[in-house]
Amino acid sequence: MSKVVKFGGTSLADAGQFKKVYDIVKSDPERVYVVPSAPGKRFKDDIKVTDLLYKAYNANTEAEMHMVFAQIKERFTDIIEGLGLDFSLDEDFEIMRKDFENQIGEDYAASRGEYLNGKLLAYYLGYEFIDAKDVIFIDEHGNYDISKTERHLTRKLKSVKNAVIPGFYGSLNDRSGKIKVFTRGGSDVTGSIVAKYGKVDAYENWTDVSGFLIVDPNIVKNPSVIETITYGELRELAYMGASVLHENSIFPVKNEGIPINIKNTNHPEDPGTMIVESTCHKPSHVITGIAGKKGFATVTIEKEMMNSEIGFGRRVLQVFEDYNLSFEHMPSGIDTMTIVLNTDDFIDKEQNVVAGIHRAVQPDSIVLESDLALIAVVGRGMKASRGIAARVFTALANQKINIKMIDQGSSELNIIIGVRNVYFEDAIRAIYNEFFND
Ligand code: ASP
């Protein structure tokens, strides 16, 4: 067995956190490849090193740049001294200072937090340091170059037993050799890529929570942790705004059948959440998780005998396509069809779309509404159980919440409910209490 372990910014924010990381890595010989983020927040209003790097690079004056630069250096010096290491990053800082002055690129600047942290962690653990610029290749849109990365990373990982590979960055996949970063939070993606090409058995993603929570803790106090979730369920919840992992971190490991285990650096004894392709583990509840988002608009089109007019739906959707709008859901009745979409995307184009629909299908009426919130109730356990929808609707009815829309995905993995924005939090609490407060 072998594992990739990725540590997020809060797990490496200071010397105390580095010690925890050391113990975690050394307590299990299967933890062979380590992917660090840059040092994150030590306390609530602290600033992440990556944010400081962006700030230094974009400073208005050289004096301001040097001031922020000094703050960054201090973060690393504190860690080195706190660990009592005979190690220096002075030379790297000198190179960086010149590169910053020469404005060699914002991505390069942003990547330095992971680069320096990787070097430091490799020294501390006694592991080889592999610079991500030599093994991970990223295109200009921020997607990793599969074939080039496979070639370089596989070969390199085969030649080492243990290594630290910094997260978040790689090289542009052209001849420039420039540094390119993933989008923010991208160390998760690096961890996943290293897991794939390192051909390991598991990808442990260490953070500051004990797993993926059933529901947003800002809405429900102290919700439980999901023990096991499938990639499909995770996608449904993440799409609805629940976040633990960078969304692009799923794809590389999913296709290899490598499970992801979300773990808590501050409570390594907690089992965390297992994210798997499929499982025979019976979920402890029929519902795996609940997530939702506010801010949707609806376009309801009415036309008598719509159901028998061939091509009606296509012509309506063509209008949305013409205005480059993607829609979320499309509930329909005999003579009505509703398109649900993001209000922010839609608002500036609404009158054009209304005119476009009139031209395309000559409806009897078009009604626009804009205060819809969507809630996804997700669970692989729903397929085999009866009465789930009834329980959701009863819970909402008991709270006097009117349901404006219902949509059950054909995979029977989720039920989507639309309520008015003002009822959003109450609706989530009502559903949570129905299924989890037993
Ligand atoms: N340090 C980067 C960020 O703050 C990447 C990461 O932490 O995954 O976004």
Residues 396/417, Cβ–Cβ less than 8 Å? yes
Q: Give residue 38 CA to ligand 1 midpoint distance, Å.
A: 6
> How confident is the prediction along the chain (438 residues), in pLDDT tens digits per residue?
999 999 999 999 999 999 999 999 999 999 999 999 999 999 999 999 999 999 999 999 999 999 999 999 999 999 999 999 999 999 999 999 999 999 999 999 999 999 999 999 999 999 999 999 999 999 999 999 999 999 999 999 999 999 999 999 999 999 888 999 999 999 999 999 999 999 999 999 999 999 999 999 999 999 999 999 999 899 889 888 888 799 899 989 998 999 999 999 999 999 999 999 988 877 778 899 999 999 999 999 999 999 889 999 999 999 999 999 999 989 888 899 999 999 999 999 999 999 999 999 999 999 999 999 999 999 988 887 888 889 999 999 999 999 998 888 777 788 999 999 999 999 999 999 999 986
Residues 174/141, Cβ–Cβ less than 8 Å? no
> Exposed, middle or buried, 410 (CB in 10 Å: 0-12/13-18/19+)?
exposed
Q: Phi/psi at 186 (nearest 5 deg)?
A: -70, -5
Name every residue whose Cβ is closer than 8 Å to that of residue 27 and which is 6 or more positions away in sequence. Answer: 268
pLDDT value, residue 193: 98
Strand 289-302 and strand 365-378: the pairing is antiparallel
- Measured between alpha carbons, how far is 79 from 82 in angstroms, rounded to an integer? 5
Q: For residue 172, which amino acid is it?
A: L
Mutate which of 17, 114, 194 for ligand 1? The one with the most ligand atoms within 8 Å of its CB, which is: 114
Residue with tokens 């790297």: 92
Strand 179-181 and strand 169-172: the pairing is antiparallel
pLDDT value, residue 438: 67
Name every residue whose Cβ is closer than 8 Å to that of residue 279 and which is 6 or more positions away in sequence. Answer: 228, 230
Ligand 1: atom nearest CA of 185 is: 8
pLDDT value, residue 283: 77
Strands, sheet with 336-342, edge to edge from the N-terminal-most edge strand? 336-342, 289-302, 365-378, 414-420, 405-408
pLDDT value, residue 12: 98
C-alpha atoms less than 13 angstroms from C-alpha of 245 in its C-beta half-sphere: 30
- Measured between alpha carbons, how far is 233 from 227 in angstroms, rounded to an integer? 13
Other CB atoms closer than 10 Å to residue 241's CB: what's the count?
13
- Measured between alpha carbons, how far is 112 from 50 in angstroms, rounded to an integer? 8
Ligand 1: atom nearest CA of 188 is: 8
How many helices (H) does the chain have, and how many strands (E)?
Answer: 14, 16
Report the SS3 class of residue 169: strand
SS3 percent helix, strand, coil of the chain, rounded to 5, is 40, 20, 35
Other CB atoms closer than 10 Å to residue 133's CB: what's the count?
20
Residue nearest to atom 2 of ligand 1 (CA): 185
Other CB atoms closer than 10 Å to residue 303's CB: what's the count?
18
Q: Give residue 149 CA to ligand 1 midpoint distance, Å.
A: 20
- Measured between alpha carbons, how far is 294 from 46 in angstroms, rounded to an integer? 29
Strand 273-276 and strand 169-172: the pairing is unpaired
- Measured between alpha carbons, how far is 54 from 176 in angstroms, rounded to an integer? 22
| Positive/negative CA dihedral, 10, 220, 426, 436 | positive
| Positive/negative CA dihedral, 225, 226, 232, 233 | negative
Name every residue whose Cβ is closer than 8 Å to that of residue 98 and which is 6 or more positions away in sequence. Answer: none
Tokens of 69: 């630069």
Residue nearest to atom 8 of ligand 1 (CA): 185
Q: How wide is the angle at C-alpha 385 spanned by C-alphas 384 and 391, nearest 5°?
A: 150
Q: Give residue 268 CA to ligand 1 midpoint distance, Å.
A: 22
Ligand 1: atom nearest CA of 9 is: 7
Residues 421/295, Cβ–Cβ less than 8 Å? yes
Strand 163-164 and strand 31-36: the pairing is parallel
State CA 227 to chain mean position distance: 18
Closest CA to 38 of 20, 61, 62, 12: 12
pLDDT value, residue 285: 84
pLDDT value, residue 307: 86
Q: Phi/psi at 229 (nearest 5 deg)?
A: -140, 145
Which residue ranges have their beta carbon within 6 Å of ligand 1?
9, 37-38, 48, 50, 113, 167-168, 184-187
Alpha helices in 268-373 (DSSP H): 312-322, 343-346, 350-361
Residue nearest to atom 6 of ligand 1 (CA): 185
Q: Give residue 284 CA to ligand 1 midpoint distance, Å.
A: 33
Closest CA to 425 of 286, 294, 236, 298: 294
